[in-house]
Amino acid sequence: MDNQLIIPFLEELELEALDENVDQTISNLLLDWEKIKIELETLYRNRDQKSTVQGMKKGIGLFIQFLYLSNNRRINSKESISINQLEITPVNLDERLAYILSRPNLFHSYRQLSELMTEQAKQYAKKNIVKKRLSQKG
């Protein structure tokens, strides 16, 4: 997937400066997602699809930021690393993200985004466990 497709979604966010504690940055990001998720669930429950676009854009931006941070990468428009080159990603990320980006106001897009966040969180936790085990052995 071309990075130029995701840049507009990142512009919706006030990207947190990447400090020394990436884990804390990711933790804050996941807390932000939980707040947005609750808002979106309410809007979809009330069948108010038109009001979901802004929340979905922010959620997509958070996911993309999480995707890069969990792979120890910074996000910027000049970044040469595409999503396809990242080490830890959810299954079928390219197709799923393309679907979400093309139809951000649909409920199915919200469900896909929610699943992508969950899958990436699991991958990130697994990566940290492996890293911790390797550091204990070495």
Q: According to the model, what pLDDT value does residue 73 have?
A: 87
SS (H, E, C) the chain: CCHHHCHHHHHCCCCCCCCCCHHHHHHHHHHHHHHHHHHHHHHHHCCCHHHHHHHHHHHHHHHHHHHHHCCCCCCCCCCCCCHHHCCCCCCCHHHHHHHHHHCCCCHHHHHHHHHHHHHHHHHHHHHHHHHHHHHHHC
Q: Domain coordinates of the chain in residue numbers?
A: 3-137
91: Cβ contacts below 8 Å, ≥ 6 apart: 119
Determine the pLDDT at residue 135.
87
pLDDT recorded at residue 105: 93
- CA 108 – CA 56 distance, rounded (Å): 12
Give the C-alpha separation, 114 to 109, whole Å. Answer: 9
Per-residue pLDDT of the chain (138 residues; tens, 9 = 90+): 655 566 666 666 555 555 568 889 999 999 999 999 999 999 999 999 889 999 999 999 999 999 999 998 877 655 557 888 899 999 999 999 999 999 999 999 999 999 999 999 999 999 999 989 888 876
